[in-house]
Structure 1
């Protein structure tokens, strides 16, 4: 079993020595990274990779990352610290331990310019039959041909010299492209990162900022996925369509805690408390559980106030001031419920 143990995370409200399954640990790190990005703070978090409780690697994460992808961060660190053979061996072993995930560590092979130089082919000497007329070229024509050959030689030699002297530009890393905000190029260069980039842009777009929404829209036009329509429904604020897109293929979101949380909110908006509770059980999402608890409290409070007002209205003159106060509180509860 693959697990992550955290150390020195008190500043992030992470218990020292906390051990989580790999999936839950990565989700926690992603959330903390987003929090630190928003607050423009930095933090170093120690961690150990455990396989069946045995420590196989110890290092630290230096938050925040422009894009948090643990596997990419780990690969770049391992390849920097160890020889190619040792790095390949470790990463292959780590890949085998990943939970239900097909991931391959792609080696970045540099493309080299190669040129072949061929020996000029010697043409056989031709004998000239004296009995036949010779083809003669006047001096002016010979000068033009000579100039043409010279220009061709210069152009060819210059091109070969340029190619042989040209240095290949190093391919930018995935993290660099994400930091620069070039999400489309990042996926074109690293196609296996499409889902991760889409998830990042979706989470950013949930903040409600127009720029983040525009980034997601631009990306989704180039790279569409099975979740794109769902994401667009969410960003449009259409909770009924969000539910419809989710229910078309629920299995697609079974391990997607971020989107399950959104669906849970949509169910609450649709006043379907039971389905929201079932989703909270599936995702073990604390935020969703808190939202459900608040929803239940407000719903209960509204019912109690309505019943209390009915009782008070039996003697409206005597209870006029109290009725007015209860009605104000009732509308505040309803307004709070609508904001959820």
Structure 2
């Protein structure tokens, strides 16, 4: 579990001034990274997370500072409830989304989503988990994120959501059961993942189908998210032979026109494709028994704007 969204000990103006935080903007900025991490985990969208945090800032600016005893808790409640409102409309949009929906990729080596020092912390922001979180109701997702990612107790979660503590415990148990029922999430040692990515890239560039075949599990699946704006498979491609045919065709042609690097995206090594300064794709893989079992490719340009800005600052 990662750090909780909490202010320094105490509550009122004197405490914040004692640590050098003297304006409303200063207080908010001290919480912004954690608020962004909360919103992203709730929404799976970096752009929407940024908008949500900005909306929270406007509410914070209009609030009576003397009435806010615990700024961190107050802001977490505002952001969570803004996310719950957004999730209601997001679920409707994703039901008619053209092709597979995948989260917006985020470079995590710069600490954008907080410290990811353990396998559990990295898994908590992985594409695989964020896709699974879409199966939860908004309330289940909020309880799960606050509990697992920010170490909130059930009493604190109840205060954030204006629900009973027993109800929050039930929502959390239900979320854990629903996520545990999926057995398709895999983890690999970072060194093995990096080696597979490099080997996969080299074989794909060279058209080495025999080499690619050795890297792929027999039941490998490819998901492509083009959002209806860029050509991409509208359905998951399942099975080694079908994935190999896809890689031998359009994907190899795509590789011929872009530059590729390996970056840490959503807590794990991933391929990032650039056309000049423009990011045109991110491919994340999951490994099972030493082989590539899942590939998730985001080529929807709307979902690449945030990661492009991140890499442009590097």
TM-score, length-scaled by structure 1: 0.21
The structure with the largest alpha-carbon Rg is 1
Which structure features the higher share of strand residues?
2
Q: Normalising by structure 2, report the TM-score.
A: 0.22
